[in-house]
Amino acid sequence: MTYCVGLMLDRGLVMMSDTRTNAGLDNISTFRKLHCWQQPGERVLMLMTAGNLATTQAVVSLIEERTKAPEDRTPSIFAAPSMFQVARMVADILRDVISQYANAGQRGDATFNATLILGGQIAGGPMRLFLIYPEGNFIEASADTPWFQVGEMKYGRPILVRAFDPAMSFEAAMKLLLVSFDSTIKANLSVGAPLDVVLYEEGSLRLDPIRRIHARDPYFRTISEGWGDALKQAFDSLPDMALTPPKG
Amino acid sequence: MTYCVGLMLDRGLVMMSDTRTNAGLDNISTFRKLHCWQQPGERVLMLMTAGNLATTQAVVSLIEERTKAPEDRTPSIFAAPSMFQVARMVADILRDVISQYANAGQRGDATFNATLILGGQIAGGPMRLFLIYPEGNFIEASADTPWFQVGEMKYGRPILVRAFDPAMSFEAAMKLLLVSFDSTIKANLSVGAPLDVVLYEEGSLRLDPIRRIHARDPYFRTISEGWGDALKQAFDSLPDMALTPPKG
């Protein structure tokens, strides 16, 4: 399994993913699921992947081959004129990779499916955030739903629904995501630290390197331990039910 | 879908279920999923059902036929000498009903599976809580894990993990379950009010009628609205991350 969240804030994009992959419960590994590309001042692209690792690695390799040898391989995500075109290109690659394995050769126990979150900005256009399906189509985040989750999304969703605010700071967004990831990690063995995160400030057209947050990270531990107490206090602050004998 | 939770507290059992059933998104109905039987002073039994409605209704009908005509139908859940025997009886009925439809006639799009939570007490024995699988085997709650969920369990699980305390009062347990159900109802259209709940005080060997909590119930609305604010405050009470430029 996997857990990735992409948030579109007023001030920019935040992308966070876990790094655990598993083939069964007894075969777990750590792989990067957050990938970034940039031409500083011109475009930044961030991609998070959930699903079959062979599929998602092939997608990333195909994207990177294209960026590395643009004279041989067009269209490239660095040449696409808009984020919509980038999304279509990545979606086409995803669909092609899946169909290559799905329709030929031995059948695997697992499917070859994968789902992607793509965010970024190209000079002259707004920042955009897409959710790309294995079928090769995609949807875009909007003011009504300015965030996407992929993978094991249910445990960590209620806090996002309740506490997300597009006006929040990067610092608060990091806290929100760490709470959401902590709840998920506590509930599903196939989601695990370290976590990768990248913050993109709208209009900057420049990305810092990916930050990696380990399980032993002091701030992550503060959040993980503090959230249990804070939640307990929140729970205690609500009135108990006055139980009267039921009618009937 | 469905959401049911059975809690084993120090002072007794609490069973809560939603009442929504659905066949697709465009065909939803309200059905009772919490069923109780008692011989006051001798035994109380509570059953919650998740899964194929035809299967779960057949299971309940078979259980009730047996209790209604004990001279024709033995063994009955009222004659079983222990909660373990009751669980085995209910599990056998469940497995038989599923195999009757699974192995004959037309194949349905949906499976005939169902999962049950059974709780109760028989005079002379302790109260016990079981989770019964469609295969006809079952597990029992223990001090380590004194509660079970069935159905759409993920959204409402983190708050149970964080706030459950076996020493809590029935009033606090109702609050906990309403928070958990509210998070689930807000996230999954196939889980819906009204909610059914029954409280069993250990050793009383007597059950009040099932309480039904409607969406308009003032206390439920207080919890539903108050929880958002309380969660927001809990979130704000944690420190924001101090973002320094990443190394690398």
A84–chain B nearest CA distance, Å: 29
Q: How far apart are CA A210 and CA A155, in angstroms?
A: 25
Position B110 scores a pLDDT of 63
Q: Looking at residues A55-66, what average pLDDT do you find?
A: 88
Of B187, B230, B248, the CB nearest to A234: B230
Instruction: Say if the Cβ atoms of B235 and A170 lie within 8 Å.
Output: no
For residue range A187-201, list pLDDT tens digits in order: 999 999 999 999 999
Give the DSSP per-residue string, A96-151: HHHHHHHTSSPPPSS---EEEEEEEEETTS--EEEEE-TTS-EEE--SSS-EEEEE
CA neighbor of B51 nearest in space, from B83, B95, B9: B95
Position A218 scores a pLDDT of 96
Position B147 scores a pLDDT of 97
For residue range A9-49, list pLDDT tens digits in order: 999 999 999 999 998 888 989 999 999 999 999 999 999 99
Q: Per-residue confidence at B66, pLDDT binned at 50, 70, 90?
A: low
Alpha helices in chain A (DSSP H): 53-68, 83-102, 157-163, 170-187, 218-237
Q: Per-residue confidence at B130, pLDDT binned at 50, 70, 90?
A: very high
Q: Per-residue confidence at B87, pLDDT binned at 50, 70, 90?
A: very high
Among A residues 70-129, those touching chain B with beta carbons less than 8 Å apart: none
Position A73 scores a pLDDT of 59
The residue ranges of every structural domain in chain A are 3-53+114-234
Position B102 scores a pLDDT of 78
Position A26 scores a pLDDT of 87
Instruction: Say if the Cβ atoms of B240 and A174 lie within 8 Å.
Output: yes
Element housing A15 (H / E): strand A12-17
Any A CB within 8 A of B167 CB:
no
Give B140: exposed, middle or buried? Use CB within 10 Å, 0-12, 13-18, 19+: middle
Among B residues 183-212, those touching chain A with beta carbons less than 8 Å apart: 183, 186-187, 199, 208-211
The answer to which of A28-32, A122-126, B65-69, B103-107 has the lowest mean pLDDT is B65-69
Of B156, B231, B242, the CB nearest to A162: B231
Whole-number mean pLDDT of chain A? 92
Q: Is the preceding peptide bond at B246 cis, omega within 30 degrees of 0?
A: no
Count residue pairs from A and B with Cβ separation < 8 A.
139
> Right CATH number for A3-53+114-234 from 2.60.40.2470, 3.60.20.10, 3.40.50.300, 3.40.1190.20?
3.60.20.10
Find chain B residues with C-beta within 8 A of A161's C-beta: 186-187
Please say if the pLDDT value at position B181 is more than 80. yes
The answer to which of B5-14, B79-88, B103-112, B156-165 has the lowest mean pLDDT is B103-112
Q: Looking at residues A216-241, what average pLDDT do you find?
A: 94
Q: Looking at residues B196-224, what average pLDDT do you find?
A: 97
Position B244 scores a pLDDT of 79
Whole-number mean pLDDT of chain B? 92
For residue range B3-23, list pLDDT tens digits in order: 999 999 999 999 999 999 998
Written in H, E and C, the secondary structure of chain B is: CCEEEEEEECCEEEEEECCEEECCCCCEEECCCEEEEEECCCEEEEEEEEECHHHHHHHHHHHHHHHHCCCCCCCCCCCCCCHHHHHHHHHHHHHHHHHHHHCCCCCCCCCCCEEEEEEEEECCCCCEEEEECCCCCEEECCCCCCEEEEECCCCCHHHHHHHCCCCCCHHHHHHHHHHHHHHHHHHCCCCCCCEEEEEEECCCCCCCCCEEECCCCHHHHHHHHHHHHHHHHHHHHCCCCCCCCCCC
The answer to whether residues A42 and A153 touch, using CB atoms and an 8 Å cutoff, is no
Please say if the pLDDT value at position B108 is more than 80. no
Position B72 scores a pLDDT of 67
Q: How far apart are CA B245 and CA B226, in angstroms?
A: 38
Name the superfamily (CATH) of residues B3-234. Answer: Aminohydrolase, N-terminal nucleophile (Ntn) domain (3.60.20.10)
Any B CB within 8 A of A167 CB:
no
For residue range A136-193, list pLDDT tens digits in order: 999 999 999 999 999 999 999 999 999 999 999 999 999 999 999 999 999 999 999 9
Instruction: Say if the Cβ atoms of B238 and A245 lie within 8 Å.
Output: no
Position A80 scores a pLDDT of 93
For residue range B21-34, list pLDDT tens digits in order: 998 888 989 999 99
